[in-house]
Structure 1
């Protein structure tokens, strides 16, 4: 029985969540009266979302087990840090995007093992 999700669907969901967080962070940084307009915290959230998007793209393309484990650990740290920064900035939608990114990371963590078990049976 095949899975309805591709092995890279978790990385794609993570990329979409990172780009959504980036859009919200850019809006908060540049729009007047958001409470964080032009602040260093909002700028850090922008950079963190860009970094998470790049890491998601790398995660979708790597083949080695060790490299994917290292990327997953970096992504988990990035998601947690960006979520914490979003809560400090009162930017709840960035926090929601990071929670969706965590779901994508979990999908990526569990789908490939299940997929490889099915193809080697």
Structure 2
């Protein structure tokens, strides 16, 4: 279930204040944001602090999408909190970026070998 907001930062803070558990994101995801979305203009440390995901194509005029997911609330049901800043996508780039961030973290910890040497 997706819920829209005009200020995801305040919404996440409010959810935390009400003890709503949110999904966490691997820190390496945020290490890659500036490279993946140059010119995004969002405060990276605020995204990182709150585990807010970012997607879009701002340099191509397609805007941004900010999102975060709750942990399961009712059985397998969770909520997506989303703020659209000119982007009508579904955060497709976040799925790939999350996978890549997990892989990079495993390489850094020595669990996987770097395929590029």
TM, length-normalised to structure 2? 0.31
Structure with larger Rg:
1
Q: Which has the higher helix share?
A: 1
TM, length-normalised to structure 1? 0.30
